[in-house]
Amino acid sequence: MLTALRTRYLDLLGSIYLYNEHRGYTSIDRVLAAVRARAPGDVALIAAIEKHRADERKHYAMFKRWFELRGVMPLKVDRMCGHIDRFVEIVFGRTIDALDTNRIIAEDAQFEKLCRVIALTEKRGHRQVHILLRHPIVRGDKILMRIFTIIEKDEPSHWAPYDGWLAAHGMRVSNWRDRAIDRFIHSELLFVKLPALFVSPWLARRSDWPDAGDGVEPAAAAVPIAA
């Protein structure tokens, strides 16, 4: 019984992270398009966001490999478990896919909001990884511990370019409304969605991987997650 509960918890945790990492790097493609159009000469900012994108892709590949090593497909979670999805929907009033990239490019106020949303999402992720690295169930899985240790090391460089852009333009790194939304989304996932998904008998496994529709992707950097 305890083994089944532990396996269910890890399945759900890994599935949510797999979804979010995939959502992360595919969404950053839109951010990169906006930055390259807004400030094509800002080589340092573009390079920092490209690294963020590459790291998110690397993290996705590690979770995918974790599932492959276990011989199971991830659970079929969707954007309701996506922190960045919910944040964008609340702040912008539309889904990530429906964001008006041209408006974000043209208006500082829109790009400012996007930078704050991304930075707060990454900071939330970093705090959560700290918690998971001390979680007894996670600590029982050496590969997951390796993955979360890598993520913990990578995360600080992810919010830095967005905070840096805001500071350089005399804008607030965050405001009370955004922080309140961040706390609400996290609490909603932790206390409502996760328990509901954990006990749901209708939560099926995916039949394909989230990156199946990505097209040709450059190979993610090899990371020895089994150490």
Domain with residue 145: its CATH number is 1.20.1260.10
Q: Does 125 reside within a domain?
A: yes
> Average pLDDT, stretch 93-105?
86
Residue 116 within any structural domain of the chain: yes
Q: Is residue 160 part of a domain?
A: yes
Provide the pLDDT for residue 225: 61
How high is the pLDDT of residue 130?
96
Contact predicate 60/22, CB 8 Å: yes
Domain membership of residue 165 (yes or no) is: yes
Q: How far apart are CA 41 and CA 12, in angstroms?
A: 42
User: 159 in a domain, yes or no?
Assistant: yes
Q: Work out the mean pLDDT of the chain and round it to a whole number.
A: 91
Q: Please check whether residue 71 lies inside any domain of the structure.
A: yes
The string of pLDDT tens digits covering residues 22-74 is 999 999 998 898 889 888 899 999 999 999 999 999 999 999 999 999 999 99
Nearby residues of 62 by Cβ (< 8 Å), 6 or more positions away:
147, 150, 223, 225
Q: Which two tokens stand for residue 59?
A: 């993290």
- Domain that residue 48 falls in: 2-200
| Mean pLDDT across 187-209 | 95
- Would you state the pLDDT for residue 224? 56
214 is a domain residue? no
- What are the tens digits of pLDDT across the range 122-167? 999 999 999 999 999 999 999 999 999 999 999 999 999 999 999 9
| pLDDT value, residue 159 | 95
Written as six digits, the tokens of 70 are: 């276990």
DSSP string spanning 205-216? BPSS-GGGGS-S
Determine the 3-state secondary structure of 161 from DSSP. helix
The total of structural domains in the chain comes to 1
Contacts of residue 160, defined as CB under 8 A and 6 or more positions apart, other chains included, come to: 48
| pLDDT given at position 37 | 87
| DSSP code of residue 75 | B
pLDDT of 222 higher than 60: no
Whether 110 has a pLDDT exceeding 50, the answer reads yes
Please indicate, yes or no, if residue 23 is contained in any of the structural domains: yes
